[in-house]
Amino acid sequence: MANEKGQLVNFCIANNINYTEHSSGLLYQIITPGTGSAPTVSSTVSVLYTARFLTGVAFDSSTNVASPFSSVLNNLIDGWKIGIPLISKGGHIKLILPSALAYSCGGYPPVVPANTPLYFDVTLVDFK
């Protein structure tokens, strides 16, 4: 993970992301904090997101406002478990994840290779 930090920081600089570093190694920028309370890992979150490799290539997204992606937060990758609770309903956050907080050494075949840091642009539509 230490060798990935340079990649994460360089990505942030190249993409004008004014990041904060979480103790986990996650880099994030809160674009809009949202309003009200924040979700917990036991919340079911509904989000709009775009997932990209640090090369900028998108590999997944859910951008249809009428049917956002929903899941119990605890079932998702660690970077989301840490990052999503930093915002409230209506919030927008950029998450730059070291591979250990994404799909780690197992990857997400065939889409995400093992040990791949990732970038997620996430809007929290709602949670319950």
Looking at residue 1, its pLDDT comes to 53
Among residues 2, 28, 3, which one has the least CA distance to residue 17? 28
Radius of gyration of the chain (CA): 14
CATH number of 2-127: 3.10.50.40
Compute CA 28 distance to the chain's CA centroid, rounded to the nearest angstrom: 8
96 vs 117: CA distance, rounded Å: 7
Provide DSSP, 50-93.
EEEETTS-EEEEE--TTS-EEEEGGGS-HHHHHHGGGS-BT-EE
Predicted TM-score of the model (pTM): 0.96
Looking at residue 3, its pLDDT comes to 78
Domain range list for the chain = 2-127
Looking at residue 2, its pLDDT comes to 58
Preceding omega of 110 cis (within 30 degrees of 0): yes
Rounded average pLDDT per 10-residue block, the chain, 128 residues: 86 97 97 97 98 97 96 98 98 98 95 97 98
Provide DSSP, 12-61.
HHHTT---EE-TTS-EEEEEE--BS----TTSEEEEEEEEEETTS-EEEE
29 vs 11: CA distance, rounded Å: 13
